[in-house]
Structure 1
Amino acid sequence: MADSVSVSELVKKIRLDVYSGKEFLKERNVTVSDISRPGLELTNYFKFYPHERVQLFGQTEISYAKDMMSTDDRRDIFNRMAMSDTPAFVISRGLPIPAELMEASKNNQVPILGSNLPTSRLLSNMTNYLESHLAERESVHGELMEIYGLGVLITGDSGIGKSETALDLIKRGHRLIADDRVDVYQQDEQTLVGEAPKILQHLLEIRGVGIIDVMNLFGAGAVRGHTDINLIVHLQNWDKETQFDRLGNGETFRKFFDVEIPKITVPVRVGRNLGDIIEAAAMNFRARNMGYDATKVFDDNLNELIRDNSKK
């Protein structure tokens, strides 16, 4: 988990314009993902002022400051808002910047940034970026692939063939997100996202061959930076003493943070084509999410057969 994101990085990623305080961008850091719309503060109510947040001014805030506040009020309020840990002021829609806000920015070394985007879209873009970079992370040993549009996390003991299976899936047209180590974080109450550590992006290690650059060998369409994790496929060495699910009705989950991800366990034996099996697992998972459950169909067929035999 990153403790903070520099304002200069926020400017770069969200493509913000810098109106004032360019020299302070690297010194200012964002430590929380929430964005403040300072409506109450403009009325001089500072009891719960979230000064550690990025302060976003839209049409409402700028119009109120212009039409309802005196010059002295604007000067006083904006200077009170520009605290030592306030990351930046951001103006949406390309709106004009009040002279008193520009003055407070220079006096207190708080940058003023801007964008032509509507306020709601700019708010969403900044929140999504900050949430993904400030979220708590967990490192998982495995492969993360995008298969038929689903994020599939392949786990298993070291040496069981995860990377070789990932290579097979890449050759079938699926996309690699991360090999060996996957950084996962919770995006919201229902979404878990996985990505590769920066040092391992687009790289795949194959025992006996070494490290290969997947994007260089297979093209940009063979890789992706991140994806939601929808399904976990755990590879486990076959053991006649172990009971594996045969009907698909023994659903299990693995919990990351507050999100539970469905998990299936696939036994590994010589001669089994894991690429075929994982593709089938992904397609079956998608079908179930669309309302078709083959296990339920089998149960219904079995019950119908039992009823027919009972009548005879």
Structure 2
Amino acid sequence: MTQYTLPFRAIVRGCGGALPDRVVTNADMAKFVDTSDEWITERTGIRQRHIAAEGQYTSDLGTEAAKAALADAGMKAEDIDLIIVATATPDMTFPATASIIQRKLGAGAGAAFDLQAVCTGFVYAMATAEKFLASGQHKRALVIGAETFSRILDWEDRTTCVLFGDGAGAFVLEAVPTEDAGGKGILASHLRCDGSLTDLLFVDGGPSMTGTVGHLRMQGNKVFREAVGRISDAMVEAAEAASITMDEVDWFVPHQANQRIIGGVVKKLGLDESKVVSTIARHGNTSAASIPLAWSVAKADGRIKDGDLVIIEGMGGGLTWGAAVIQL
């Protein structure tokens, strides 16, 4: 828990999202797996998800989201000197998907790397970018969450395949001298991992262990039981580090994993439900992409605007979890 007093603030300048064209509804899912629209909606809040086309990769979605974020920020790719991509579904084992996106954008030779914290990945990536920018080492960053989770799903496992979708979201951050920031920027973050719980959510393959990609496996009930308390604690810690109260928060943009988890956090912290941004019904769980995707929707429809105080949170395999407070 740290109050940041470094010479620069990392300010959000733009955001953007990208989704594959193909939409798969719950009714579509019921055609090839033993499930129903009622079963999925009641337990998760999900009604549909987007699925990447054959030959459409994580880097393609990430590049599209990055272009949208750059346009929103009024910047060009060559203005960027740092790219961080949060993803658990990279194009290849290496090079990093960030390197591929850098090439596709024509962003030049700034730093670029991937970060893997599964569904908490975007929160981790924002906190990491903030450190680079606040130190003055870099000036402008693209922080991207991009996933093609459809490639690691077991499409015969109804407990997992109905939950996830593909997509990407991106932020443009800029380093601004603290005295000129007007209180804006990433005010605080709180990141955690409990490696003793790796068996609750994992992929049963990998280059070193099996030489295969593997499939996603999850003990859903146990993940649910861990989620509400850990997420709530991280949000409280981040808020305390930022010296703000939950009542001051204008918008809560959670990781879109399960509507019941989001509702549990809202109830535990006594949050105003009208301040919650939820896109899970349309997108499903897009892992590291879910927070920036939801944010971009809320900005496009006029909810999130300049001057707002926003808190984001996530929890994913590892188990990892975290939260961050951002003043626009």
TM-score interval for Structure 1 and Structure 2 normalised by the shorter chain: under 0.3
Tell which structure's C-alpha radius of gyration is larger.
Answer: 1
TM normalised by structure 1 equals 0.21
TM normalised by structure 2 equals 0.20
Q: For CA contacts below 8 A with separation 6 or more, give which structure has more relative contact order.
A: 2
